[in-house]
Amino acid sequence: MKYHLRVPTNEQYAYIEAEMEGDSEQAIDEYYKLTRALKPKEGLPDKDYNAFIDNQLLGESNQLETYTQMSDQQKNAVQIIKRALARIKARQTQE
């Protein structure tokens, strides 16, 4: 039997559509496989994330591997802090 799977995404009015042939059990498995792939990443545990932020605020280097393990929300916060630190540094050099 042919199945059309429509899996909603995190974007409003957006979905992924897939077509497959098989039985109903295979279609259900494929549907759940697609939903897991679209699920947002969990991100870093609080302890590791806090250490990353502390290093960033102290001007110390961080590992790229740690950054790539972050959720989108954690990455967004890191970028906001990074831009704020750059603005502060620019103001201090102007004085």
Mean pLDDT score of the chain, rounded to an integer? 89
pLDDT-based confidence at 10, cuts 50/70/90? confident
Q: Is the pLDDT of residue 71 over 80?
A: yes
Q: Are residues 60 and 85 in the same domain?
A: yes
Q: Are residues 32 and 64 in the same domain?
A: no
Q: Are residues 50 and 90 in the same domain?
A: yes
CA distance 34 to 95: 54
Q: Are residues 90 and 56 in the same domain?
A: yes
Using a cut of 0.75, tell me whether the model's pTM lies above it: no
The domain tally of the chain equals 2
Q: What is the pLDDT of residues 31-42, one digit of tens each?
A: 888 888 877 778
**Domain residues for 65?**
46-94
Q: Are residues 24 and 52 in the same domain?
A: no
Pick from 66, 72, 65, 68: which is nearest to 49 by CA?
66
Q: What is the pLDDT of residues 16-31, one digit of tens each?
A: 888 989 998 998 888 8
